[in-house]
Chain A
């Protein structure tokens, strides 16, 4: 990038908000995805929407790539500046503008950390349900752009189910407002949904209007241990068939159980093929009733052991195994890939079996845990990026895993997004027609292809 470009950017946002030292640039070369890193040419930290509009106009005219970034906790290399250019850091967009209790919506700037919004609305007995594992760090803009989900996805859905409106700066600098506070809104194309989950390829999000829901009054957690994977799968379908939608319904496979037990000693039997963790929430009377029903379903599907938490301390104890899953796996080896291939929930046991076979066949370590209730699995591959021979086997296993998910009528991503990480399999899932349609949208909104180029839909 020419010096005159950097000077122009400094004029827009001020000297202090442009970073150019090699050290600063290096620290924006990665996100939480292993194996992808590239230095940007400049990091720009805008303070308001107007500044972003000017930056976009300038970048568009000069065909400079722009990569919007929040906290960079994403798991698909979606924020890696693969073609240099500008990293647009949204850290200064950190205000909660309004919590509207009459309409149960919040208006936020996109740099607000999700947990900070939840702390604020908790005062009014409300929650913003999407709760990815990095909720204490991840920003609203990042989670909306990646369409993040979380543990409560089964009952509450993912980010797109809560975004009602957006303020977006387009590639040419135009400032666009989509949606609003209307519960019913069928006017025109659903632009809000289009930009949600677009991973920064269609525009720069600056503000969001999001839906809030009442915090559940009560909750109840249960854990069941299964010697047979199919029984665990039947229990999952059985709970749903009993017309109960738990807030969370999690599964840990045998590889994860063994690793967790080795690391955290929470008392899981090493020969168990699966552990299910279930939490129902809502009105106390309903929660009690549902908990009993869930326990019945678990027992009638041959659960070897079933526990129910009576106190908060017991609840924490039950959840200790699930919380330890990722740390325990991550500690095994230096590099950790947390994937999020998702299948229809009835196919969870079939997918887990497929992943097991793939791991064995390729001699790689994969532990799988995840959201059984919504079919969103986290096959977690642990390896060492520095070992070339091992990495070839890892990439082969990854390839087979995503193919297996698509063959089971699944999807590449339930909540992490595509970015670069899962780009190679996009056409497998969407076909050439699907890819062409998506690329056409990209080209229409960003004709110079400057917004997060090469990601999500690939080269256009």
Chain B
């Protein structure tokens, strides 16, 4: 039998954590408004799925009614971190963060899940991680079968922790950062920016990275791609391993401090949000907090940068004749609150017919690695998204997050549809290319 850890044990272990939580949890008035917007609750109809239930369970642990069990752990894990509950809460309870604190408590009390522990061990060592994924890219074709015309692949063999039908993105045979020099110069640079590639763009969706570089060059921006940058830490942070997440944040800050740039650009809602959230992650360390603030202030998501800072050039745009709809990733809409700018980008492209889908800002069910651990559940959520996409009659779905792209592409293939899912900036890149052919 596993040792049951009581509130008393945790209290002794981390008093501050406990006190912080208690006050924040007390602000939840259990009104249940979160139930109306939680994608998981909509599928399961179980109180433990929704923020109200999770918050009450944390209270139960804190008041000593319940110990932190494997069941508690599982319940805390059943959250997409989509922030819908938080944005809906009339009392301003930051439920998404509290649930992460619940995971943190579980990690402290019970340790990380063994699979996660191994993955995180790999993530901790950048060189090893880089080596592993490069090997994955080299030998990938042996294990993954590419689906023609799409950035998608299915496994040839059963893979542990992954549904056999599931389509993922192929691992690139050559990561983005290996294909470019660290500094990409332009003739008369308006700005010098650093590109935070994130893991999915570096190792899988190199096409997005190419488009970011092309679009910035097209707008006379010098691009620096720091070679030693690594994962932003989000997967670790949302798993409740705050200590490793902080370590990774510090490494990222150090890496980007070395370059004298005007801005730091990300092309994924979650990674960009992480960089902006570093001051919060490191709030209890004065020196690091100040350094994090500096980076956070410079950080922009690509469409936000193109619209708000650059006022990107439109005179050289050529036509892209297609109908496009847009999915707002949770960390774009509720994290960064960037929704207008990607639409401005799409609407500026000649020939592109933009159609809004129903519930464009509802979570697709991906939730980073959530969809790996809970594939059936995340498919049900995804099917609703895919049905809304089908209703728009669009040929292309634009979105600004790698894992959303992968998950929605999978949903589209599973539903025997043929839309392509791309990053918003890829369509802008296509328009610039079309302009050159004119």
Contacts and interface: CB of A to CB of B under 8 A. Distances in A.
Interface in B89-104: 90-92
Interface of B: 23, 26-27, 29-33, 35-37, 45-48, 53, 56-57, 60, 65-66, 69, 71-72, 75, 90-92
A8 interface: no
Nearest to A386: B26
A21 B92 contact: no
Which of the listed residues B30, B53, B65 has the most CB atoms from chain A within 10 Å of its own CB?
Answer: B30
Interface residues of A, number: 38
Contact of A326 (B23, B27, B90): B90
A385 B32 CA distance: 19
B66 A22 contact: yes
Nearest to B29: A336
A137 B23 CA distance: 26
A136 B36 contact: yes
A187 to B, nearest CB: 37
Contacts of B35: 71, 73, 137
Given A73-B35, A335-B29, 20 more contacts: A23-B48, A23-B57, A23-B72, A24-B47, A24-B48, A26-B57, A27-B53, A30-B30, A34-B29, A34-B30, A71-B32, A73-B31, A73-B32, A137-B35, A138-B32, A326-B90, A331-B92, A335-B26, A384-B26, A385-B26
Contacts of B33: 134, 136-137
24 contacts: A22-B66, A23-B48, A24-B47, A26-B60, A26-B66, A27-B53, A29-B56, A30-B56, A32-B29, A32-B30, A73-B31, A73-B32, A91-B45, A94-B45, A134-B31, A134-B32, A137-B36, A138-B32, A327-B91, A327-B92, A334-B23, A334-B26, A335-B26, A336-B91
A234 B47 CA distance: 46
Nearest to B92: A331
A330 interface: yes
* SS class, residues of chain A in contact with chain B: loop
Nearest to B28: A334
A72 interface: yes
A253 B123 CA distance: 56
B71 A21 contact: yes
A72 B23 contact: no
Contacts of B27: 331, 334
Interface in A19-57: 19, 21-24, 26-34, 45
A333 to B, nearest CB: 9
Contacts of B31: 32, 73, 134
Contacts of B23: 334
A316 B69 CA distance: 46
A229 to B, nearest CB: 26
Nearest to A94: B45
Interface of A: 19, 21-24, 26-34, 45, 71-73, 89, 91-92, 94, 113, 115, 134, 136-138, 326-327, 330-331, 334-336, 384-386
A33 B30 CA distance: 8
Contacts of B92: 327, 331
Given A71-B32, A330-B90, A23 B26 contact: no
Which of the listed residues B26, B27, B47, B66 has the most CB atoms from chain A within 10 Å of its own CB?
Answer: B47
Nearest to A326: B90
Given A22-B71, A23-B71, A28 B47 contact: yes
Contacts of A21: 71
Contacts of B37: 136
The 9 closest A-B pairs by CB, nearest first: A91-B45, A136-B36, A327-B90, A334-B26, A27-B47, A73-B32, A27-B53, A137-B36, A23-B71
A26 B56 contact: yes
A384 B27 CA distance: 9
A183 to B, nearest CB: 33
B91 A137 contact: no
B91 A330 contact: yes
A441 to B, nearest CB: 30
A276 to B, nearest CB: 23
Contact of A23 (B36, B45, B66, B91): B66
Nearest to B22: A386
A45 B45 CA distance: 10
A113 B72 CA distance: 28
A86 to B, nearest CB: 15
B380 to A, nearest CB: 15
